[in-house]
Structure 1
């Protein structure tokens, strides 16, 4: 591809169906015009994440016709970035001080051969150069969720050293979080809650007993879709004894949530840490009948977290190996996404779909 190409291929959302789902199709779209300071990327790989699935299922109202906020691409037009054409980069999709920039949410994202990064994001340092060998599916698809899990680990470990870990949600972030905690604090008791064969069913009769038997202090990472966050938090609050720190990684609606410590605006607690700021992190403390409750969370990551995640994925072959389940072309991505959206099981090609990497193009 070249910068003079007037159109390119992208995975575009169709109008919502009667169930409010937006299926996707490969379409030829106009290559975006650049304003002063903008950067144009030729995408190599992009990831499909849990938030993307929520948008496609109509659980979020993000308007972008082209999704995708995880990936690796090559600089085509450098704008004011100071980067050379051909430099491999990833992009931090969340601006810590400008909520109008949400790549792949309210701005066209990375499920396209070309992606425009506005000057406001360039000036904020959200374009992160990566090593030349980082333009591979595992790094592109897993760097952002791994960076998010890394940030969560750093926030939680700032407060305490847990005797036990609960990971509620056995999807992409949950499994990466479990791997990271196992690397940093090996030998600690871990309970994975989810629907997979290696997880404890969140609706199972044995879960309350298992939570009650965990040694204190306990760190719990909630990495569920936003529809499951409040239920997971309430169950942890009711059953885990002693000191409990909850990293509310999953999104949730705004407004108070009734816990044994009182009515708490969990969404506000989660949003208090954004894009790696502030440090030390904000952690809210409450008193509950079973023991101290510490609540934290975050929105977005810093460039430092992204660089650390890229390096870990490059140098640790086994990290996230089982999380990246599918690598597909644009056309194959449309088939996979639409198959999952229109079926009752999150499976494609006989396997459970966790993380998918979309192959978009070669180095320009």
Structure 2
């Protein structure tokens, strides 16, 4: 290693199945243009979108992934940031689709990450308090911020009597926990493969959905390939008013919902980074009751700070306490990622991989 190089998790060329495994590779540390900032990631999450990219389900070109984490500032340039200060990065620029950290720009799975001047000027480098470098906080802040954004839109629209969460991965479990904290006594139904969830193919699921008291809120936190089916089942079986937060991604194009063809992916992207407010929520009539549909792209600074504050709170049970399952270093992350990609199960080191936080560096 030299002053001009650093280590990163770098994707290999796709294999015959389209998967891109990873290696720890020495790469050149980028030179900074005026207004750029150079960060040293400390703890970085592996999220569902990362797994989709690694499996070849998305064509995002960045060879270094990672868009959720905490870092310290190495070179602030003329950004107004302070050397050594602790920050997180909002990975989505609401006005510049060319900035998608870890998607089309090198991400945080590295010892050094350059943040371009436009993103710094837009306030996407967000100072955070001490303690936010804890792997649980670093890895869960961005997905929790997304959940809180959706919760804020939902409660602006109506107050539900019941909640159905479809998908028992990271976002689904954080959503159930955040909604139950916000609305004590809320009746909830978790749909997924875990022991505490109802299997999506359970013969009794349609009746359980029909029995939920109206109005029903639903959070779709499925894998990208399961979003359409989940929305169709909810539309078919939930009676009364149904408010759906489409957290999950889905392919573009129309799909049959509420008796008509709707481009749900386009509606999902109508809210971005907290704008507009009041938010866009689309209403449709259906035979069994009204359908209210919304989603969002990206989060705002205040969503991230609220998420970090919740994760740092020490009173009661820490939020997301059961979600983080693995904390590998950069070298061990290679084994975890490549094992999950190569084998059919999601176990590593004797435990199911739910959420991993890669420990990359230490704060000076």
Q: TM-score range by the shorter chain?
A: over 0.9
- Show structure 1 runs of 5+ residues with no match: none
* Residues paired across the two proteins, number: 362
Alignment deviations for residues 167-219 of structure 1 (CA, whole Å, 9 cap, x no partner): 00000010000000010101111000011111110111111111111110000
Structure 1 residue 35: Cα displacement? 1.1
Residue in 2 that maps onto 1:325: 325
Residue in 2 that maps onto 1:209: 207
- Show structure 2 runs of 5+ residues with no match: none
Residue in 2 that maps onto 1:192: 190
* 1:16 and 2:14 aligned: yes
Structure 1 residue 33: Cα displacement? 1.1
Structure 1 residue 132: Cα displacement? 2.0
Q: 1:298 aligns with which of 292, 296, 299?
A: 296
Residue in 1 that maps onto 2:98: 100
Residue in 2 that maps onto 1:160: 158
Cα distance in structure 2, aligned partners of 1:85 and 1:261: 56
Cα distance in structure 1, aligned partners of 2:75 and 2:6: 15
Cα distance in structure 2, aligned partners of 1:337 and 1:125: 31
Residue in 1 that maps onto 2:264: 266
Q: 2:111 aligns with which of 101, 110, 113?
A: 113
Residue in 1 that maps onto 2:86: 88
* 1:282 and 2:280 aligned: yes
Residue in 2 that maps onto 1:25: 23
Q: 1:74 aligns with which of 72, 75, 84?
A: 72
Three-state SS of the structure 2 residue aligned to 1:134 is coil
Q: 2:245 aligns with which of 230, 244, 247?
A: 247
TM-score by length of 1: 0.98
Cα distance in structure 2, aligned partners of 1:247 and 1:295: 6
Structure 1 residue 133: Cα displacement? 2.1
Three-state SS of the structure 1 residue aligned to 2:224 is coil
Contact 1:64 1:105 in 2 (8 A): yes
Structure 1 residue 79: Cα displacement? 2.3
Cα distance in structure 1, aligned partners of 2:218 and 2:143: 17
List aligned pairs for 1:123-142, cutoff 5 A. Answer: 123-142=121-140
Cα distance in structure 2, aligned partners of 1:239 and 1:349: 40
Residue in 1 that maps onto 2:338: 338
Cα distance in structure 2, aligned partners of 1:328 and 1:102: 25
Contact 1:261 1:286 in 2 (8 A): no
Moved over 6 A (4+): none
Contact 1:43 1:112 in 2 (8 A): yes
Three-state SS of the structure 2 residue aligned to 1:328 is coil
Alignment deviations for residues 331-353 of structure 1 (CA, whole Å, 9 cap, x no partner): 11110001111111111122221
Cα distance in structure 2, aligned partners of 1:128 and 1:280: 24
Contact 2:258 2:291 in 1 (8 A): no
Alignment deviations for residues 290-319 of structure 1 (CA, whole Å, 9 cap, x no partner): 100000000100000001111111114520
Residue in 2 that maps onto 1:354: 354
Q: 1:48 aligns with which of 46, 50, 54?
A: 46
Structure 1 residue 81: Cα displacement? 2.3
The RMSD of aligned alpha carbons is 1.1
Contact 1:80 1:122 in 2 (8 A): no
